[in-house]
Amino acid sequence: MHDPQLVAERLLRASAASAGVDARIDWDASFEEGAWFMPPEWVSLYGTPLWQSMDHTSRVELSRQEMAALASGGIWTELCLMQMLGRYMAGRDLIDARTRYALTEVGEETRHSLMFARLISAMRCRAYTPPGYVNHLFSLTNVVYGRIGTFAVTLLSEEVNDLVQREAMKDERVQPLVRQVCRVHVTEEARHVSFARTELTHAMRTASAANVRVQRELVGVTAFVFMAHRMPATVYRAVGLDPAAARQQALANPHYREILRRSGHKAVTFLTEIGLISPRQRHWWRRAGLAP
């Protein structure tokens, strides 16, 4: 197992070397007529009967709304992660490398949230927020996540959205501004994933069996709730589609379901390997669409 202190020190150096990379985003760039806001293959309705009935302009508009929804979800999850990282730091030596990297990560997550908010505004979209009960549920449960839950949820939220951003940033069909934002986020989130994996592995090896059992269930439920609201039905209303019918086709769409499984593969494999997903929790991950 990698030494958590050494990993944190390496990540601190990497963060210092890349500081200010988001300042190079060209926010004044014009959007290209007819260009996508994410690869079309990643749009939830791709390949469905509804998709076939839409013209190119409507399909591009749906990609714009779905990118806004993903960016909005990114802001909300970053806010949740910052709260959990604050709890992690509160019980630690405030100047050791792991605490200093957690502080660095909070700073980066703040910049990412601002970056996503600016992107949503530039795209002239609304922000999509989760239902009120999800906010209430998090406020009730975040105190019991502990180190295992904190870094498992970090890993889940970062890895599940990583693949679509990696695809978008190298796809020349996608708007240049979206590609720039995705490139910055992917680069910095790779460090957050490395930190989360190291901390989570260490936490699992030192946790009590009772705590592991609780965290397995809590993280599984979190994955299910997180994915259930990843793409709100209101994105379909924004492009003139019936929300209920469109959501039904998206959820039944075999292409979209396969994309979600691919997005979750790395996180699910790792969490299974370290013992945070056992056969008893597998059903949560299947219901979330992240595991076969």
Phi–psi pair at 168, nearest 5 degrees: -65, -40
How many C-beta neighbours within 10 Å does residue 142 have? 17
Closest C-alpha among 181, 182, 186 to residue 26? 181
236 and 246 in contact (C-beta within 8 Å)? yes
**Amino acid found at 103:** L
- Between the CA atoms of 12, 17, 19 and 24, what dihedral angle is there, to the nearest 10 degrees? -150
N-terminal to C-terminal alpha carbon distance within the chain: 28
In a domain, 131, yes or no: yes
In a domain, 266, yes or no: yes
Structurally, the chain folds into a number of domains equal to 1
Query: Which CATH number goes with the domain that contains 209?
Result: 1.10.620.20
In a domain, 292, yes or no: no
pLDDT at 58: 97
Range of the structural domain that residue 84 is part of: 4-287
Residue 1 pLDDT > 70:
no
In a domain, 57, yes or no: yes
- Residues 110 and 264: their CA atoms lie apart, in Å, by 24
- Residues 241 and 102: their CA atoms lie apart, in Å, by 42
Give percent of the chain above pLDDT 70.
Answer: 100
Give percent of the chain above pLDDT 90.
Answer: 87
- Between the CA atoms of 113, 159, 222 and 76, what dihedral angle is there, to the nearest 10 degrees? 10
Between helices 209-228 and 132-141, what is the axis angle to 10°? 170
Name residue, tokens 């693949």: 163
Q: What is the pLDDT of residues 199-228, one digit of tens each?
A: 999 999 999 999 999 999 999 999 999 999
In a domain, 25, yes or no: yes
Residues in CB range of 155: below 8 A, 6 or more apart: 193, 196, 197, 200, 267, 270, 271
Residues in CB range of 173: below 8 A, 6 or more apart: 35, 36, 39, 40
| Residue-averaged pLDDT of the chain | 94
In a domain, 282, yes or no: yes
What is the CB-side half-sphere exposure of residue 187 using CA atoms within 13 A? 15
Helices (H), the chain: 4-17, 49-53, 56-90, 97-122, 132-141, 146-160, 162-169, 176-206, 209-228, 234-237, 243-252, 254-273, 282-287
Residue 136 pLDDT > 90:
no
In a domain, 167, yes or no: yes
In a domain, 87, yes or no: yes
Q: What is the pLDDT of residues 240-276, one digit of tens each?
A: 999 999 999 999 999 999 999 999 999 999 999 999 9
